[in-house]
């Protein structure tokens, strides 16, 4: 018997029954999830979504600035780099390649990084107001390495992509069709941190030391 | 991992005398409980979410075979491979084979409790691979050659001085010359050293907090980002997961995520929640070329058969140990196996046997705090009591204890003799204690009275006698 059959047989022995019949399996497949009721979504604080998002993000030491349009992104990145005493260089997601980076004086390298870049710039697929989280999808347009290797991670989030909870994000992914999930969905809530030494919180454990969101109206 | 649980008593005594450990434990105890309480207070829906979580886990466990098969289908559709391991040995063999086939030399690892359970590091090192733990806490205890003492904060028992010594000893080969003293510089030191390891590694191994059947996804939560670097930089990603981690949908996982971080660290959500589905796609510019999942049973299917199925709801948040007075006094190492505290005292005897770990369920005050804070409402004290019962039935406990219990059973079954006995005993003890009204020593008490402890003496009458007298007075 293969490992698979051994484990499945042991589970069925534990459950005290044989394999489920076709009808029972179909009924399980048709369910929306484990419970009969719709997911319970926590009530969010009053106020516009960007405000709720900002409170969540700042609670976890993230920062945010609001800009009026996508064409302002390179300028805002240049401002952030200068403000942090960094050279005007960044590894940038190809999804943002069409913006005028040289016009803003930023030397942008488009594509994944192998470390060595101080700043990475990515485009969020969605934002979640509940905890100030960003949802990033992997792909040639948005290499995952940009989210984790640079010291400073700057993420562009468009206001129209800001949702109240994670559940509508899953609904949107489901709309991409069966197997519409990319290799990685990163839900990022603040910069990297650890409390492994004497429970003292320290930012920048292995991932970015700081996380900055550019919310585009 | 090999169990040392049979030596629980000796190890506890040792832990109580270890002053450095006591300092570290004291720091941890209040911090965790306060942070959790604050986080829970901030989410009015917390208790309703707990009910939902119980419902979700119970439904999934009831249909575990179905959801695991659906999960496997989805992983395969996305280009990944699922391996089934019924024992720890199977799991190790499978992981070693994958690493060999990949021609690996160096392997980075994210934190995986099931990895600790099956002893994956020993197996991999035995097969000649270099294995590097990347979670800072796990890395520290790897340098110290110790097992984790807590499931969330593995190095919680170490002080910064001890960690500075470990880095000083082990990092000279990377150019560290002086002894570090501050937390930020230690974190930075580990960051620099591990950064190179991530980039050199051929295989990355992570655990899974959840598996999603609908999409074939494995979910990990980390604060450091080490799990992400481990699963996205090497060319092979292996996920080790126990079978009960599967859930039907991402929505179900989200309900549990709302409970997990709050219960564990008092955060609303862990910094990085990462959903991995298969290897890199044909046009991706980064990510692993191979994606393997090793599903580990190792005794869990047996737990489905009786009341211990409830234990399979556990999401490994650590709240039970953070609120346990016994864990708070002795720390995790005394328990002698992978899982400490209340959840460990249930899992360890089920996994390594009551003969080896029978003392763990006995080391519990049954104060019920663990069950109160458990996000998935596992009745831990009830399960511990059942294990005590089993231990008694199997005639495994200490003989004096068993005889004492047998005598007690006989007495309580004979109420007249019981009452007479306690009456005589209470009077005798009151007489013996004399005017002081308390004992400061007693035969057979061992070291109980050491350090100025005393024991109040009975005041001469039994509770039953006092009660009857009062009832009589009231009637008059």
Per domain, the residue ranges of chain A are 48-216
Q: Where are the alpha helices (DSSP H) in B211-332?
A: 226-232, 250-264, 300-303, 319-322, 325-330
Q: What is the CATH number of domain A48-216?
A: 3.40.50.10420
Spell out which residues of chain A touch residue B270, defining contact as CB-CB under 8 Å.
Answer: 189
Confidence of residue B400 (pLDDT cuts 50, 70, 90): confident
Contact B56 A25 (CB under 8 A): no
Contact A196 B135 (CB under 8 A): yes
Looking at the complex, report in whole angstroms how far the Cα of residue B314 sits from the nearest Cα belonging to chain A.
Answer: 16
Burial class of B33 by CB neighbour count within 10 A (0 to 12, 13 to 18, 19+): middle
The verdict on A28 touching B (C-beta cutoff 8 Å) is: yes
Mutate to test the interface with B, among A15, A22, A41, A205 (most CBs of B within 10 A): A205
CATH class of B43-301: alpha beta
Q: Using the predicted structure, report yes or no on whether residue B3 has a pLDDT greater than 90.
A: yes
In terms of pTM, does the model score above 0.90?
yes
Annotate B367-402 with b (16+ C-beta within 10 A) or e (fewer).
eebbbebbbbbbbbbebbebbbeebeeeebbeeeee
Q: Which tens digit of pLDDT belongs to each residue from B264-302?
A: 999 999 999 999 999 999 999 999 999 999 999 999 999
Looking at the complex, report in whole angstroms how far the Cα of residue B54 sits from the nearest Cα belonging to chain A.
Answer: 10
Antiparallel, parallel or unpaired: β A63-67 and A119-123? unpaired
Looking at the complex, report in whole angstroms how far the Cα of residue A210 sits from the nearest Cα belonging to chain B.
Answer: 12
Tokens standing for B235?
Answer: 């060319």
Contacts of B185 (CB under 8 A, 6+ apart): none
Nearest residue on chain A to B74, alpha-carbon basis: A179
Q: Using the predicted structure, report yes or no on whether residue B458 has a pLDDT greater than 90.
A: no
CA angle B75, B77, B74 (to 5 degrees): 40
Calculate mean pLDDT across residues B245-270.
97
Query: Cβ distance A111 to B285 under 8 Å?
Result: yes
Measured between alpha carbons, how far is A187 from A135 in angstroms, rounded to an integer? 5
Contact A10 B45 (CB under 8 A): no
Residue whose pair of structure tokens reads 């989200």 in the numeric block:
B254
CB count in 10 Å sphere of residue B125: 12
- Which candidate, B128, B339, B91, B285, places its Cα nearest to that of B205? B91
Q: Which tens digit of pLDDT belongs to each residue from B353-392?
A: 999 999 999 999 999 999 999 999 999 999 999 999 999 8
Q: Where are the alpha helices (DSSP H) in B82-131?
A: 88-101, 113-118, 120-126
Contact A35 B52 (CB under 8 A): yes
Beta strands in B282-392 (DSSP E): 290-296
Q: What is the CA radius of gyration of chain B?
A: 26
Query: Cβ distance A93 to A143 under 8 Å?
Result: yes
Q: Using the predicted structure, report yes or no on whether residue A1 has a pLDDT greater than 80.
A: no
Q: Using the predicted structure, report yes or no on whether residue B27 has a pLDDT greater than 90.
A: no
Query: Cβ distance A183 to B284 under 8 Å?
Result: yes
Q: Using the predicted structure, report yes or no on whether residue B404 has a pLDDT greater than 80.
A: yes
Tokens standing for A145?
Answer: 């390495």
Nearest to B136 among A112, A165, A196 (CB): A196
Residues, chain B, total?
476
- Which candidate, A20, A168, A213, places its Cα nearest to that of B63? A20
Contact B64 A149 (CB under 8 A): no
Query: Cβ distance B279 to B291 under 8 Å?
Result: yes
pLDDT of residue B91: 98
Spell out which residues of chain B touch residue A205, defining contact as CB-CB under 8 Å.
Answer: 136, 187, 190-191, 223-226
Nearest to B78 among A179, A194, A205 (CB): A179
Measured between alpha carbons, how far is B437 from B459 in angstroms, rounded to an integer? 8
pLDDT of residue B398: 78
pLDDT of residue B83: 98
Q: Using the predicted structure, report yes or no on whether residue B431 has a pLDDT greater than 90.
A: no
Spell out which residues of chain B touch residue A133, defining contact as CB-CB under 8 Å.
Answer: 269, 273
* A residues 82..121 contacting B (CB < 8 A): 111-112, 114-115
Report chain B's mean pLDDT, rounded to a whole number: 94
The verdict on A55 touching B (C-beta cutoff 8 Å) is: no
Reduced 3-state DSSP string for chain A:
CCHHHHHHHHHHHHHCCCCCCHHHHHHHHHCCCCCCCCCCCCCCCCCCHHHHHHHHHHHCCCEEEEECCHHHHHHHHHHHHHHCCCCCEEEECHHHCCCCCHHHCCEEEECCCCCCCCEEEEECCEEECCCCEEEEECECCECCHHHHCCCEEEEEEEHHHEECCCHHHHHHHHCCCCCCCCCEEEEECCCCEECCCCCCCEECCCCCCEEEEEEEC
Confidence of residue B21 (pLDDT cuts 50, 70, 90): very high
Q: Which tens digit of pLDDT belongs to each residue from B112-151?
A: 999 999 999 999 999 999 999 999 999 999 999 999 999 9
Calculate mean pLDDT across residues B79-90.
98
Mutate to test the interface with B, among A31, A33, A62, A208 (most CBs of B within 10 A): A33
Which helix H or strand E contains B470, and what residues bound it? Answer: helix B463-475
Cα separation values, B257 from A166, B260, B268, Å: 11, 5, 9
Q: Which tens digit of pLDDT belongs to each residue from A4-50?
A: 999 999 999 999 999 999 999 999 999 988 988 889 999 999 999 99
Which helix H or strand E contains B370, and what residues bound it? Answer: helix B369-373
pLDDT of residue A180: 87
ipTM passes above 0.95: yes
Query: Cβ distance B90 to A4 under 8 Å?
Result: no
In degrees and rounded to multiples of 5, residue A214 shows phi and psi of -105, 105
Looking at the complex, report in whole angstroms how far the Cα of residue A202 sits from the nearest Cα belonging to chain B.
Answer: 6
Across-strand partners of A163?
Answer: A128
Residue whose pair of structure tokens reads 């979410």 in the numeric block:
B49
Mutate to test the interface with A, among B25, B285, B322 (most CBs of A within 10 A): B285
Spell out which residues of chain B touch residue A179, defining contact as CB-CB under 8 Å.
Answer: 74, 77-78, 215
Contacts of B413 (CB under 8 A, 6+ apart): none
In degrees and rounded to multiples of 5, residue B146 shows phi and psi of -125, 155
Nearest to A3 among B52, B64, B83 (CB): B83
Measured between alpha carbons, how far is B181 from B228 in angstroms, rounded to an integer? 28
Q: Using the predicted structure, report yes or no on whether residue B460 has a pLDDT greater than 80.
A: no
Looking at the complex, report in whole angstroms how far the Cα of residue A53 sits from the nearest Cα belonging to chain B.
Answer: 13
Contact A115 B199 (CB under 8 A): yes
Measured between alpha carbons, how far is B369 from A134 in angstroms, rounded to an integer? 35
Measured between alpha carbons, how far is A42 from B465 in angstroms, rounded to an integer? 55
Query: Cβ distance A207 to B225 under 8 Å?
Result: yes
Query: Cβ distance B332 to B157 under 8 Å?
Result: yes
CA angle B286, B287, B290 (to 5 degrees): 135
Bigger pLDDT: A175 vs B31: A175
Query: Cβ distance A205 to B145 under 8 Å?
Result: no
* A residues 134..163 contacting B (CB < 8 A): 138-140, 143-145, 147-149
Nearest to B286 among A34, A143, A187 (CB): A143
Nearest to A25 among B28, B66, B268 (CB): B66
Taking the alpha carbons of B368, B370, B376, B381 in that order, is the dihedral positive or negative?
Answer: negative
Measured between alpha carbons, how far is A75 from A81 in angstroms, rounded to an integer? 10
Nearest to A196 among B65, B137, B295 (CB): B137
Q: Which tens digit of pLDDT belongs to each residue from B298-324?
A: 999 999 999 999 999 999 999 999 999
Measured between alpha carbons, how far is B314 from B112 in angstroms, rounded to an integer? 15
Measured between alpha carbons, how far is A104 from A70 in angstroms, rounded to an integer? 13
Q: Which tens digit of pLDDT belongs to each residue from A81-120?
A: 999 999 999 999 999 999 999 999 999 999 999 888 999 9
Q: Using the predicted structure, report yes or no on whether residue B18 has a pLDDT greater than 80.
A: yes
Contact A11 B301 (CB under 8 A): yes
pLDDT of residue A120: 97
Contact B187 A39 (CB under 8 A): no
pLDDT of residue A135: 98
Q: Using the predicted structure, report yes or no on whether residue B31 has a pLDDT greater than 90.
A: no
- Which candidate, B65, B87, B149, B475, places its Cα nearest to that of B328? B149
Which helix H or strand E contains B130, and what residues bound it? Answer: strand B130-133
The verdict on A12 touching B (C-beta cutoff 8 Å) is: yes
C-alpha torsion angle, residues B37, B38, B40, B41 (rounded to 10): 110
Spell out which residues of chain B touch residue A62, defining contact as CB-CB under 8 Å.
Answer: none
Q: Using the predicted structure, report yes or no on whether residue B473 has a pLDDT greater than 80.
A: yes
Q: Using the predicted structure, report yes or no on whether residue B395 has a pLDDT greater than 90.
A: no
Calculate mean pLDDT across residues A183-210.
94
Q: What is the DSSP annotation of B19-69?
A: HHHHHHHHHHHHHHHHHHHHHHHT-TTHHHHHHHHHHHHHHHHHTHHHHHH
Q: Which tens digit of pLDDT belongs to each residue from A124-148?
A: 999 999 999 999 999 999 999 999 9
Which helix H or strand E contains B203, and what residues bound it? Answer: strand B203-206
Nearest to A190 among B63, B134, B271 (CB): B271
Nearest to B86 among A6, A189, A204 (CB): A6
Confidence of residue B457 (pLDDT cuts 50, 70, 90): confident
Contact B249 A200 (CB under 8 A): no
Residue whose pair of structure tokens reads 């082990």 in the numeric block:
B170
Domain positions in chain B are 43-301, 414-475
Calculate mean pLDDT across residues B442-461.
81
């Amino acid at each position: 018997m293969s490992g698979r059959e051994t484990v499945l047989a042991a589970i069925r022995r534990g459950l005290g029954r044989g394999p489920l019949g076709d009808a029972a399996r179909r009924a399980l497949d048709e369910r929306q999830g484990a419970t009969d009721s719709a997911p319970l979504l926590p009530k969010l604080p009053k106020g516009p979504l960007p405000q709720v998002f900002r409170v969540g993000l700042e609670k976890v030491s993230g920062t945010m600035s609001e800009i009026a349009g996508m064409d302002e992104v390179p300028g805002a990145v240049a401002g952030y780099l200068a403000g942090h005493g960094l050279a005007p260089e960044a590894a940038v997601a190809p999804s943002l390649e069409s913006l005028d980076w040289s016009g803003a004086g930023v030397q942008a390298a488009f594509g994944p990084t192998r470390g060595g870049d101080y700043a990475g710039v990515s485009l969020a697929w969605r934002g979640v107001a509940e905890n100030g989280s960003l949802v990033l999808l992997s792909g040639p347009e948005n290499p995952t390495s940009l989210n984790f290797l640079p010291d400073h991670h700057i993420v562009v989030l468009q206001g129209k992509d800001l949702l109240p909870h994670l559940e509508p994000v899953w609904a949107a992914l489901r709309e991409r069709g069966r197997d519409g999930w990319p290799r990685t969905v990163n839900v990022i809530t603040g910069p990297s941190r650890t409390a492994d030494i004497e429970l003292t919180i320290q930012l920048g454990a292995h991932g970015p030391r700081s996380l900055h969101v550019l919310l585009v109206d | 991992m090999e169990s040392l649980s049979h030596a629980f008593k000796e190890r506890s005594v040792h832990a109580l005398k270890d002053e450095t450990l006591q300092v570290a434990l004291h720091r941890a105890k209040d911090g965790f409980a306060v942070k959790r309480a604050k986080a829970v207070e901030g989410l009015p829906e917390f208790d309703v979410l707990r009910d939902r979580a119980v419902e979700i886990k119970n439904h999934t466990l009831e249909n575990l075979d179905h959801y695991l098969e659906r999960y496997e289908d989805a992983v395969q559709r996305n280009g990944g491979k699922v391996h089934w391991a019924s024992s720890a040995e199977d799991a190790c063999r499978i992981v070693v084979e994958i690493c060999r086939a990949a021609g690996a030399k160096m392997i980075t690892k994210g934190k995986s409790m099931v990895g600790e359970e099956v002893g994956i590091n020993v197996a991999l090192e035995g097969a000649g691979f270099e294995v590097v733990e990347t979670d800072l806490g796990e890395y520290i205890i790897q340098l110290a050659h110790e097992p984790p003492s807590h499931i969330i904060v593995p190095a919680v028992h170490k002080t910064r001085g001890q960690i500075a010594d470990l880095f000083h000893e082990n990092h000279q080969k990377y150019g560290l010359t002086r002894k570090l003293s501050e937390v930020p510089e230690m974190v930075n030191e580990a960051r620099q050293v591990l950064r190179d390891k991530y980039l050199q590694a051929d295989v990355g191994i992570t655990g899974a907090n959840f598996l999603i059947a609908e999409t074939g996804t494995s979910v990990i939560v980390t604060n450091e980002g080490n799990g992400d670097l481990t699963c996205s930089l090497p060319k092979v990603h292996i996920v080790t997961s126990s079978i009960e981690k599967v859930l039907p949908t991402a929505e179900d996982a989200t309900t549990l995520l709302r409970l997990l971080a709050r219960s564990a660290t008092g955060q609303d959500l862990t910094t990085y929640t990462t959903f991995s589905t298969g290897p890199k796609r044909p046009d991706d510019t980064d990510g692993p070329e191979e994606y393997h999942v090793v599903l580990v049973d190792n005794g869990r299917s047996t737990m489905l058969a009786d009341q211990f199925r409830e234990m399979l709801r556990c999401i490994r948040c650590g709240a039970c140990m953070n609120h346990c007075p016994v864990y708070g006094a002795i720390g995790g190492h005394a328990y002698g196996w992978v899982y400490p505290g209340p959840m460990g005292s249930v899992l360890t005897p089920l996994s390594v046997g009551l003969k080896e770990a029978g003392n763990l369920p006995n080391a519990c005050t049954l104060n019920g705090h663990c069950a109160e804070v458990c996000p998935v409402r596992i009745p831990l004290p009830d399960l511990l009591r059942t294990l005590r019962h089993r231990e008694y039935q199997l005639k495994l406990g200490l003989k004096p204890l068993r005889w004492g219990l047998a005598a007690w059973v006989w007495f309580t079954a004979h109420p007249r003799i019981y009452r007479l006995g306690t009456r005589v005993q209470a009077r005798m003890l009151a007489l013996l204690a004399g005017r002081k009204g308390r004992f400061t020593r007693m035969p057979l008490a061992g070291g109980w009275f050491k350090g100025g402890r005393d024991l109040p003496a009975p005041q001469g009458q039994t509770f039953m006698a006092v009660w009857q007298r009062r009832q009589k007075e009231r009637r008059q």
